[in-house]
Chain A
Amino acid sequence: MAHAYSATVKAGARRSFWPVLKDWLTTVDHKKIAILYLLGGTIFFAFGGIEALLIRYQLMFPEFDAIPAQLFNELITMHGTTMIFFVAMPLVFAFMNAVVPLQIGARDVAFPFVNALGFWLFFLGGLMLNLGWLFQAVPDAGWTAYVPLSGPEYGGFGINFYVMGLQISGLGTLIGAINFIVTIVNMRAPGMTFMRMPLFTWTSFITSVLILFAFPPLTIGLVLLMFDRLFGANFFDVSQGGNVVLWQHFFWIFGHPEVYILILPAFGIISEVVSTFAGKRLFGYSSMVFATVLIGFLGFMVWAHHMFTTGMGAVANALFSVATMLIAIPTGIKVFNWIFTLWGGKIRFTAANLFAVSFIPTFVMGGVTGVMLASAPANFQFHDTYFVVAHFHYVIVGGIVMALLAGCFYWWPKMFGRTLDERLGKWTFWTFYPGFHLTFLVQHFLGLMGMPRRVFTYLDGQGWNTMNLVSTIGAFLMAIGVIIFLVNVFKTAAKPADAPSDPWDGRTLEWSLPTPVPEYNFRQLPLVRGLDAWWLEKREGRTHMTPAEPPGPIHMPSPSSLPIWMSVALFIAAIGFMYAKEPFSAGFVRFLFENYIVGIGGLAMFFTCMIIRSLKDDHGYHIHPEEAEGEAAHQ
């Protein structure tokens, strides 16, 4: 039984390989799913990072011939798609899973099974995207996959891996979002009103709402592209009455909220880390909440600022310009609130805080170039140049990645029972951060000087050589930083799991729990009496949260293998539809694919699993108070 597992671990017993693997493959526990997302995101980060290094290597010298044009286009496509969908998003989900239920005083998310399904769909989607490498048919139309370049006439077979991979993982992301919305609305501990929720939970909530409304347009865009490519539809076929700009609208109605989906949780992490290590409550909590909501809302009003140059006309361009600039205001509010949280504090510069604090000026730099880009007439010069590349890397790497690193150092003790090495953490910072600036600061100037993006090479004599070289050197410096971080992770894994439960004098509920966190999180749901609920209790002299309920049997959901089967089923279905017209030499294989047996079979398998899940009621199992108490005694 699963709860016996934590007891045997504490007793020092070792379990053999297969039960451990099975545990992880069938878990519905949000804490384990968080670690799965972390692992998945890191694996894809290796892919995306190597792609980046190859890109920068090719661009080190003018007219360099290390990487041919076609491969280069594949690399930039895969780098962008992988980093956004299969690195940033899962890492964000990792922290949401690890932290949100703990921060609101809940025992798990609302739908643990759906949580696991979301992870496996993400993972299989990522595998699908990268499958093309094995078949030398890699998507090559950019992460934005504009039609007709990505369509049936001009797009290679590789685009299918993109179309299918993103649909599968998109489904996972969507159901993950629904899960967090319901969890946060329905499962907060007694006393935790919305305005007593930690900022990270607030940002997770708004992010989930954004996902709910932003992913369907992407899904539809991908479906329409899939129909054009595989079934002869005419959505984007100009000769049959289709419209190429339609794809861009769908993509960016998703794409713009997507970047807020990525950055809002990062904002949440920064709010937590900065206030903890300054020793002060977050300055302007209500405006922070309000600003987050406003950013989320406005984020849906600005998508066409990615399309200024498509010829929409002055009215549309002017409107979208102004709307985009307005987002700077709530964002600025947040920046000032963070600075004034630090102001008057007693700041401790742990590795986590080093990353969090440097987020602030770096993100501001990225944000101001965003406002520059927002001006449509100026955008006609900036668009599709390295200025844009510089801007988004400043906000994504200088923003999101810094926040994720801060989150790692901050929450590692709670997630893994071990604290990452502080010295190695600082070495990571002092290689990665300067390397980052070296890579991307010069790119602003390259863009202004006329270097377009997505170019596999550039001619000599344009004055771009030195800056490109500098940029590449910076990229390799960042790689060193990442390697140091990975060394840190492995070194830490070898340490005993004896991290304190509240190493940073934390303010929020996760730090009130023992480390390692019991399977059921809270023996008794806590009573929340204010903002920064844990800190409040500590400063009034208590060592534990006051319980809000008597001890009783705790109901736990059962693990299940259905999530992984369902994801595999969709994977099979996608392969079936993609290869339906493939001229296989083996007659039987050809028969299976031609008649859509594989495709429809995969779908049938998926729906069968759904029916099984629906008909078989999950009664779960119970952990009784005495057992739970026994564990508590071991703390």
Chain B
Amino acid sequence: MKRWYKAGRTALILAAAAMLLAGCGGALDPQGDRAKDQYFLIMLSFGIMVLVMLVVFTLFFTAVIRYRRRKGDTGDPKQVAGNHRLEIIWTVIPFMLILLLASFTVVFAFKHDEVIAAEDAVNVQVVGHQFWWEFNYTDHGIRTAQDLVLPADTWVNVELSSADVIHSFWIPQLTGKTDTNPGLTKTVAFKTGDPGVYLGKCAELCGPGHALMDFKVVVKSQDEFNAWLAGMKEPAPAPSTPAAAAGQEVFGNYCISCHAVESDKMSLGPNLKGFADRQTVGGFRENNDKWLREWIINPQEVKPGATMPAFGDMLSEEELDHLIEYIRTLK
């Protein structure tokens, strides 16, 4: 009777917790299939552990409260060597609980290692850099960075590797993380959820900029995604204002050596095709002129360890204004 009571109480606690915790976001508010499986496992393991803790804590507190030495009682308590039945119980029951957790674990371990057939998924090559993310849509010949644009409710294969040190690719609401290793590739699959913008993080210490090596996953409807793909393949529109044209010249003098503006070109730094439509500057700051300006003037001030040189001393205020206006045309 006591055990049922405990189990029921546990279930209630968990349900309440789940509702509360969903407000916390991240892995506790899963939106994609993989994350939902992982959430289930987290809750299952948490539930089992709460049960274990309830049993252990009850026994523990009973023992330390009930068996305190009474004042003046100097005699020895009865010396008990052991109890075979108890020892068997507390070996077998934990074993069974673990069997339960292990079964789900093994099933999901294999399920989550499966990669989707290339024809049935969006295939993206992900390369981690210090401290930004490169995304190449191999089926379409599109190179981009920092914003991972994907269609809703679709399976995605990401082929992960790194250009320098080990990073880790993580989108808490959509899927768990997988390391990006230099010299090795690993492909994992995940399914996107509803349209929206999801937070992506680097999850392996990679230097001073690690904490700020965020990226965004921009999930669009299938139509919007197709439109985006088409737009990315189009050449950049010619600058329409004189300021922007001047900015293009500045860009050509200082930036083009590291940043391509056509999505089919490789570059040392992030490809800037479509930058004007991106969520962020530097991967984590709001994409507005203020942050763009600060970034160009001194990237290390915004993101410690950033490998882009500081241009504050090299550009006049006017050049900077023109440059920014030009960058705003990169749609």
Contacts and interface: CB of A to CB of B under 8 A. Distances in A.
Whether A and B touch (Cβ < 8 Å) is answered with yes
Interface of A: 68-70, 73, 141-142, 146-149, 154, 238-239, 242-245, 278-281, 283-287, 309-311, 313-314, 317-318, 321-322, 325-326, 328-329, 332-333, 335-336, 339-340, 342-349, 357, 360-361, 364-365, 368-369, 371-372, 374-385, 445, 448-450, 452-459, 462-463, 539
A364 B56 contact: yes
A377 B184 contact: no
Contact of A361 (B60, B206, B207): B60
A-B pairs, top 5 by smallest CB distance, nearest first, are A380-B176, A238-B183, A450-B26, A311-B186, A455-B211
Given A285-B81, A381-B176, A346 B67 contact: yes
A342 B64 contact: yes
A634 to B, nearest CB: 29
* Most B CB within 10 A of own CB, among A339, A377, A539: A377
B76 interface: yes
B11 interface: no
B106 A318 contact: yes
Main secondary structure of the interface of B (DSSP, over half): mixed
Contacts of A384: 168, 177, 203-204
Nearest to B69: A346
A380 B175 contact: yes
A450 B199 contact: yes
Interface residues of B, number: 91
A329 B52 contact: no
Contact of B77 (A335, A345, A368): A345
B164 interface: yes
B208 A69 contact: yes
Interface of B: 21, 24-28, 35, 37-38, 41-42, 45-46, 48-49, 52-53, 56-57, 59-60, 62-64, 67-70, 73, 75-83, 86-87, 90-91, 94-95, 98, 101-102, 104-106, 108-113, 130, 160, 164-166, 168, 170, 172, 175-179, 181-184, 186, 188, 199, 201-212, 284, 304-305
Contacts of B186: 310-311
Given A321-B106, A371-B101, A452-B211, 6 more contacts: A154-B164, A333-B87, A345-B67, A372-B46, A377-B112, A450-B26
Given A69-B208, A311-B184, A368-B53, A448 B77 contact: no
Contact of B305 (A69, A326, A449, A459): A69
A280 B177 contact: no
B82 A286 contact: yes
Contacts of A344: 67, 77-78, 80
A385 B203 contact: yes
A365 B53 contact: yes
Contacts of A378: 38, 41-42, 45, 105, 176
Contacts of B75: 346
A590 to B, nearest CB: 31
Contacts of B113: 313-314, 317
Given A69-B304, A342-B63, A379-B176, A333 B110 contact: no
A281 B60 CA distance: 17
A285 B183 CA distance: 51
B162 to A, nearest CB: 9
12 contacts: A73-B208, A245-B184, A283-B81, A284-B82, A318-B110, A332-B91, A339-B59, A369-B49, A383-B203, A448-B24, A449-B27, A450-B172
Nearest to B180: A311
B182 A278 contact: no
B86 A332 contact: no
Nearest to A459: B284
B81 A310 contact: no
Contacts of A365: 53
Contacts of B104: 375
A154 B80 contact: no
Nearest to A343: B63
B98 A463 contact: no
A455 B41 CA distance: 26
B80 A456 contact: no
Contacts of A360: 56, 60
Given A311-B184, A384-B203, A458 B37 contact: no
Contact of A539 (B63, B76, B91, B170): B76
Contact of A377 (B109, B304, B305): B109
B113 to A, nearest CB: 4
A374 B45 CA distance: 10
Contacts of B177: 309, 380-381, 383-384
Nearest to B78: A344
A395 to B, nearest CB: 14
A464 to B, nearest CB: 9
A348 to B, nearest CB: 5
* Most B CB within 10 A of own CB, among A336, A349, A457: A336
Given A309-B168, A333-B87, A339 B52 contact: no
A239 B53 CA distance: 50
A62 B203 CA distance: 18
A437 B21 CA distance: 20
Contacts of A326: 98
Contacts of A361: 53, 56-57, 60
Contacts of B211: 69, 452, 454-458
A454 B45 CA distance: 26
